[in-house]
Amino acid sequence: MRTDRLIEQLARDVPPVPRRAVGWRLALGIVGGGMVTIGAIALLLGFRPDLDLAMQGPNFWIKWAYTISLGLLSIHATARLARPDQGRLSAPWLMLLPLAALAGVGAVELMRAPPADWLAMWLGHSWRVCSAMVFLLSAPIFIGLLWSFRRLAPTRLRAAGGTAGLAAGAWGATLYCLHCPEVSAIFVLTWYSLGIALAAGMGALLGPRLLRW
Protein backbone atom coordinates (compact mmCIF):
# COMPACT_ATOMS: atom_id res chain seq x y z
CA MET A 1 0.00 0.00 0.00
CA ARG A 2 1.22 3.48 -0.70
CA THR A 3 2.33 5.33 2.39
CA ASP A 4 0.10 8.37 1.89
CA ARG A 5 -2.94 6.11 1.47
CA LEU A 6 -2.02 4.42 4.71
CA ILE A 7 -1.76 7.76 6.50
CA GLU A 8 -5.15 8.78 5.15
CA GLN A 9 -6.68 5.61 6.48
CA LEU A 10 -5.03 5.89 9.88
CA ALA A 11 -6.04 9.52 10.28
CA ARG A 12 -9.68 8.59 9.79
CA ASP A 13 -9.83 6.96 13.19
CA VAL A 14 -8.38 9.18 15.91
CA PRO A 15 -10.30 8.77 19.14
CA PRO A 16 -9.02 10.83 22.08
CA VAL A 17 -6.69 9.01 24.45
CA PRO A 18 -7.22 9.68 28.15
CA ARG A 19 -4.25 10.60 30.30
CA ARG A 20 -2.88 7.64 32.21
CA ALA A 21 -4.21 5.39 29.46
CA VAL A 22 -1.38 2.91 29.99
CA GLY A 23 -2.23 2.40 33.65
CA TRP A 24 -5.93 2.07 32.93
CA ARG A 25 -5.34 -0.43 30.19
CA LEU A 26 -3.18 -2.61 32.46
CA ALA A 27 -5.70 -2.33 35.28
CA LEU A 28 -8.49 -3.35 32.93
CA GLY A 29 -6.55 -6.41 31.77
CA ILE A 30 -5.91 -7.45 35.36
CA VAL A 31 -9.52 -6.91 36.43
CA GLY A 32 -10.82 -8.82 33.40
CA GLY A 33 -8.49 -11.74 34.03
CA GLY A 34 -9.16 -11.51 37.76
CA MET A 35 -12.88 -12.04 37.19
CA VAL A 36 -12.11 -15.32 35.45
CA THR A 37 -9.84 -16.30 38.34
CA ILE A 38 -12.54 -15.48 40.90
CA GLY A 39 -15.01 -17.50 38.86
CA ALA A 40 -12.61 -20.44 38.83
CA ILE A 41 -12.15 -20.21 42.60
CA ALA A 42 -15.89 -20.02 43.18
CA LEU A 43 -16.66 -22.97 40.92
CA LEU A 44 -13.72 -25.29 41.50
CA LEU A 45 -12.22 -24.49 44.91
CA GLY A 46 -14.85 -22.61 46.89
CA PHE A 47 -14.25 -19.62 49.13
CA ARG A 48 -13.06 -20.40 52.60
CA PRO A 49 -16.19 -20.71 54.77
CA ASP A 50 -14.79 -18.57 57.57
CA LEU A 51 -13.84 -15.73 55.22
CA ASP A 52 -15.65 -12.93 57.08
CA LEU A 53 -14.26 -14.15 60.38
CA ALA A 54 -10.76 -14.40 58.94
CA MET A 55 -11.00 -10.87 57.62
CA GLN A 56 -11.25 -9.65 61.18
CA GLY A 57 -7.94 -11.21 62.18
CA PRO A 58 -4.42 -10.09 61.31
CA ASN A 59 -3.22 -13.17 59.43
CA PHE A 60 -5.47 -12.65 56.46
CA TRP A 61 -4.36 -9.04 56.17
CA ILE A 62 -0.69 -9.92 56.44
CA LYS A 63 -1.15 -12.21 53.45
CA TRP A 64 -3.01 -9.55 51.53
CA ALA A 65 -0.53 -6.84 52.42
CA TYR A 66 2.19 -9.04 50.95
CA THR A 67 0.46 -10.04 47.74
CA ILE A 68 -1.23 -6.69 47.08
CA SER A 69 1.91 -4.63 47.61
CA LEU A 70 3.77 -6.98 45.31
CA GLY A 71 0.93 -6.68 42.81
CA LEU A 72 1.01 -2.87 42.86
CA LEU A 73 4.79 -2.67 42.54
CA SER A 74 4.81 -5.06 39.62
CA ILE A 75 2.03 -3.18 37.81
CA HIS A 76 4.06 -0.05 38.25
CA ALA A 77 7.11 -1.75 36.76
CA THR A 78 5.03 -3.22 33.93
CA ALA A 79 3.61 0.21 33.11
CA ARG A 80 7.14 1.54 32.74
CA LEU A 81 8.23 -1.31 30.53
CA ALA A 82 5.08 -0.88 28.42
CA ARG A 83 6.45 2.40 27.06
CA PRO A 84 9.09 2.12 24.36
CA ASP A 85 11.31 4.86 25.74
CA GLN A 86 11.30 4.04 29.44
CA GLY A 87 13.01 0.70 29.39
CA ARG A 88 14.92 0.99 32.62
CA LEU A 89 13.31 0.31 35.99
CA SER A 90 14.08 3.02 38.48
CA ALA A 91 14.30 0.86 41.59
CA PRO A 92 13.82 -2.86 40.98
CA TRP A 93 15.00 -3.64 44.50
CA LEU A 94 11.77 -2.06 45.79
CA MET A 95 10.08 -5.32 44.82
CA LEU A 96 12.07 -7.09 47.51
CA LEU A 97 10.54 -4.91 50.24
CA PRO A 98 7.30 -6.92 50.61
CA LEU A 99 9.38 -10.08 50.71
CA ALA A 100 11.64 -8.65 53.42
CA ALA A 101 8.67 -7.39 55.46
CA LEU A 102 6.96 -10.77 55.31
CA ALA A 103 10.22 -12.49 56.25
CA GLY A 104 10.36 -10.21 59.30
CA VAL A 105 6.83 -11.17 60.34
CA GLY A 106 7.69 -14.83 59.76
CA ALA A 107 10.76 -14.59 61.97
CA VAL A 108 8.72 -13.07 64.80
CA GLU A 109 6.11 -15.81 64.45
CA LEU A 110 8.74 -18.51 64.62
CA MET A 111 10.32 -16.98 67.72
CA ARG A 112 7.00 -17.02 69.50
CA ALA A 113 6.21 -20.61 68.60
CA PRO A 114 7.90 -23.71 70.06
CA PRO A 115 10.39 -25.22 67.58
CA ALA A 116 8.34 -28.42 67.55
CA ASP A 117 5.61 -26.54 65.63
CA TRP A 118 7.90 -24.99 63.05
CA LEU A 119 7.63 -27.72 60.46
CA ALA A 120 3.85 -27.76 60.71
CA MET A 121 3.72 -23.96 60.31
CA TRP A 122 5.96 -24.11 57.29
CA LEU A 123 4.14 -26.91 55.48
CA GLY A 124 0.61 -26.09 56.62
CA HIS A 125 -2.04 -28.39 55.18
CA SER A 126 -1.67 -27.48 51.56
CA TRP A 127 1.98 -26.96 50.72
CA ARG A 128 1.79 -29.57 47.98
CA VAL A 129 -0.80 -27.70 45.95
CA CYS A 130 -0.42 -24.08 47.03
CA SER A 131 2.29 -22.99 44.56
CA ALA A 132 0.63 -24.79 41.67
CA MET A 133 -2.73 -23.17 42.54
CA VAL A 134 -1.23 -19.68 42.62
CA PHE A 135 0.49 -20.37 39.33
CA LEU A 136 -2.64 -21.70 37.62
CA LEU A 137 -4.88 -18.96 38.98
CA SER A 138 -2.45 -16.37 37.63
CA ALA A 139 -2.91 -17.62 34.06
CA PRO A 140 -6.20 -15.81 33.31
CA ILE A 141 -4.71 -12.58 34.67
CA PHE A 142 -1.65 -13.01 32.51
CA ILE A 143 -3.90 -13.48 29.49
CA GLY A 144 -5.75 -10.31 30.49
CA LEU A 145 -2.41 -8.50 30.54
CA LEU A 146 -1.58 -9.85 27.09
CA TRP A 147 -4.76 -8.16 25.92
CA SER A 148 -3.60 -4.94 27.59
CA PHE A 149 -0.30 -5.12 25.75
CA ARG A 150 -1.98 -5.13 22.37
CA ARG A 151 -2.11 -1.34 22.59
CA LEU A 152 1.17 -0.93 24.42
CA ALA A 153 4.70 -0.80 23.10
CA PRO A 154 7.27 -2.68 25.18
CA THR A 155 10.74 -2.83 23.71
CA ARG A 156 12.32 -5.10 26.31
CA LEU A 157 10.03 -8.04 25.86
CA ARG A 158 11.59 -10.45 28.32
CA ALA A 159 11.60 -7.92 31.14
CA ALA A 160 8.06 -6.79 30.31
CA GLY A 161 6.89 -10.42 30.20
CA GLY A 162 8.58 -11.04 33.54
CA THR A 163 6.95 -8.12 35.32
CA ALA A 164 3.59 -8.94 33.73
CA GLY A 165 3.96 -12.52 34.96
CA LEU A 166 4.90 -11.21 38.39
CA ALA A 167 1.83 -9.00 38.46
CA ALA A 168 -0.37 -11.89 37.33
CA GLY A 169 1.17 -14.12 40.01
CA ALA A 170 0.75 -11.55 42.77
CA TRP A 171 -2.89 -10.84 41.90
CA GLY A 172 -3.60 -14.53 41.39
CA ALA A 173 -2.20 -15.11 44.90
CA THR A 174 -4.29 -12.24 46.25
CA LEU A 175 -7.44 -13.92 44.99
CA TYR A 176 -6.28 -17.36 46.11
CA CYS A 177 -6.30 -15.94 49.67
CA LEU A 178 -10.09 -16.01 49.38
CA HIS A 179 -9.87 -19.79 49.34
CA CYS A 180 -6.68 -20.70 51.18
CA PRO A 181 -7.04 -21.00 54.97
CA GLU A 182 -3.32 -21.12 55.76
CA VAL A 183 -2.25 -18.64 58.42
CA SER A 184 1.50 -18.68 58.97
CA ALA A 185 3.73 -16.09 57.39
CA ILE A 186 6.50 -18.52 56.52
CA PHE A 187 4.01 -20.67 54.67
CA VAL A 188 3.05 -17.70 52.53
CA LEU A 189 6.65 -16.59 52.24
CA THR A 190 7.62 -19.96 50.82
CA TRP A 191 4.74 -21.42 48.85
CA TYR A 192 2.93 -18.31 47.67
CA SER A 193 6.22 -16.76 46.64
CA LEU A 194 7.17 -19.92 44.79
CA GLY A 195 3.94 -19.80 42.78
CA ILE A 196 4.37 -16.10 42.07
CA ALA A 197 7.97 -16.68 40.99
CA LEU A 198 6.83 -19.46 38.66
CA ALA A 199 4.35 -17.08 37.07
CA ALA A 200 7.04 -14.41 36.68
CA GLY A 201 9.44 -16.95 35.17
CA MET A 202 6.81 -18.16 32.73
CA GLY A 203 6.09 -14.56 31.77
CA ALA A 204 9.77 -13.89 31.13
CA LEU A 205 9.98 -17.08 29.09
CA LEU A 206 6.95 -16.25 26.94
CA GLY A 207 7.41 -12.49 26.77
CA PRO A 208 9.66 -12.34 23.69
CA ARG A 209 7.20 -14.48 21.74
CA LEU A 210 3.84 -13.19 22.95
CA LEU A 211 4.54 -9.49 23.40
CA ARG A 212 5.98 -8.84 19.95
CA TRP A 213 4.29 -6.14 17.96
Partner 1 sequence: MKTDEQQLREWMVGGLKGDAAAHACLLRALVPLLRAYYRRRCGPQAEYIEDLVQEVLIAVHSRRATYDPVRPFGGWLLAIARYKMIDHYRRQGRTVPMDDMDMIADEADFEAASIARIDTDRLLDMLPPKQAGAIRATHIDGLSVAEAADRVGLGQSDIKVSVHRGIKALAARMRGTR
The residues that touch partner 1, with contacts defined as CB under 8 A, are: 1, 3-4, 6-8, 10-12, 14-17, 21-22, 25, 82-87, 151-153, 155, 212-213
Q: Given the complex with partner 1, which of 130 and 211 has the nearer CB atom?
A: 211
Cα distance from N-terminal residue to C-terminal residue, the chain: 19
Nearest approach, Cβ of 139 to partner 1 (angstroms)?
Answer: 25
Nearest approach, Cβ of 24 to partner 1 (angstroms)?
Answer: 9
Q: Given the complex with partner 1, which of 125 and 151 has the nearer CB atom?
A: 151
d(CA 99, CA 49): 28
Nearest approach, Cβ of 19 to partner 1 (angstroms)?
Answer: 8
Phi-psi label, residue 20: left if phi above 0, alpha if psi -120 to 50, beta otherwise: left
d(CA 112, CA 133): 29
d(CA 34, CA 212): 24
Nearest approach, Cβ of 213 to partner 1 (angstroms)?
Answer: 7
d(CA 149, CA 153): 7
Q: Are 74 and 166 in contact (CB under 8 A)?
A: yes
d(CA 128, CA 182): 13
Q: Given the complex with partner 1, which of 126 and 155 has the nearer CB atom?
A: 155
Contacts for 85 with CB less than 8 Å, ≥ 6 apart: none
Q: Given the complex with partner 1, which of 11 and 119 has the nearer CB atom?
A: 11
Q: Given the complex with partner 1, which of 128 and 150 has the nearer CB atom?
A: 150
